[in-house]
Structure 1
């Protein structure tokens, strides 16, 4: 058997503690090795086998480390990913991949030149609600789909103290934070749009970074609506999908994140299973009979991202979350900002025609 892949972390804040380390610690093909923590050692208290260092060279220059996970603020993604690649490491880069397509191209070229894998952490491909939506659409009970609407909403009327995402920095705000999840999901389901219109705003009186977006992506015969906001106290459906033959409506969100944030571990049967109260509703007609039924949700599992990555690194399987996918997400955000600024529909230029899993 191959020896475990030794994993290093750039930053060990909420993202690393919630979305990455709990799964990497349990998957046999990985071992937590080192975390670069600028504000003192916290990782060893959670994972006694991991080293904590305050000099980044102790991470990047360590020949034992195979894979580096970058979970730092968006403005530093390109810098630290490039440093890791030049150090001969494979890299997992949190979304958004970068804050500009120019940086995305530089990283992609560097990974290719170094012969290393560069994966973007689009973990919302591995959540209960999206997996269920994908399964429903694959079965085609709705007929040709003409409208798809997905939301990623929160209720946070006051600014979160010391939150870099709320600062007026390039790459801050929820379009870069939550938008990549919805955009990547839409690309996985429908491919690339022909054009788009966006309404991007600062809704709250104190807001200094984008806290609302409404993206409308136009395909032949299909309109995709992606929305996110910080003033949604009572959420509506997470997904609303309408086709020629029927509709699918889905409330609720994948249960993994709140459990992990509270310190839970992804252990045992039942992980990632939704409360049946959040199962989606399918209303359609088949063989002359009206169908109005609850659709059990598939279980989510962020760990599948790292299982897929292990298959790429150790077995040569194709990478499922590629730099081109990250590039397309960032390019769509750039186009959305242009559309909102001009208050006009814009062509979806500059997107790459690449396969989505």
Structure 2
């Protein structure tokens, strides 16, 4: 069973609230060696900060009780939702946990969709309207499969669209369309770039009338996959960055204690990640002028790909020195403070014209 994770606080709270209001049971368990001790329970309270689970009365006679020494798993079988907690407290038949920051759910799509980053600059163009009132528009592409796609629009343009409406797609970036493609809008839902602010955006889900034979996926992330193979050639045993999954796990743990700090780190990670667009000359000047101690601290939660991009073409001596600095553990607050300083430095260089971090000029020679 393929699962996907959401880290959006509003989505998680909404889903848990739905489960609570339905009155459906959830299964909770802990692993003891090869055994799994299961109990039935219900979710009785969900707030922004805490969730309370009520265990069935039969638990009173159980041979093995829930213990704080093992991870607690909570599974909603009817809706295929799952989360786990390492820290919790019990009060009789009640388990009190911090509302989870990650919720796993079963993938219900029959065909996998490829997701694009904003930096990919992928667009979908189409005609919308009827009779003489037809308008040609183009919007940012969010994801794509042979059966459909999703796109992002500003809420001010919402009157142009309605669920069930037909659109005529004329082009999709990187895709070879021999002719136009009819499609139907299946859903319209709010879309947020940041959990802390209202982005005033909408996400439209579109289903093609006829499935495409194939789709091509060209993204910054597909380039990264090639670079990850090269990363092994560094042969370093010290810390050299995190995978996307590792980043989310660390940020999830930080969010359990300080949600605002986790969001700040995530946002600054995105800002610093733009350094991957440095040309070779700009990279050399940047590394000569930046405070390397601050840079190393700011990259403690960055990707392997960014770190590889920054140090792959420097001297062995400088590479060794920087990796040593990078290997020094830092607290989340120290990392965020260093990030703030590096982002301030980057923006000053951009303002003066010394750095041009433009994703549209990003080229890879294969």
Q: TM tier, shorter chain?
A: under 0.3
Q: Which structure is richer in relative contact order (CA contacts within 8 A, separation 6 or more)?
A: 1
The TM-score with structure 2 as length reference comes to 0.24
| Larger of the two Rg values belongs to structure | 2
Greater percentage in strand: 2
The TM-score with structure 1 as length reference comes to 0.25
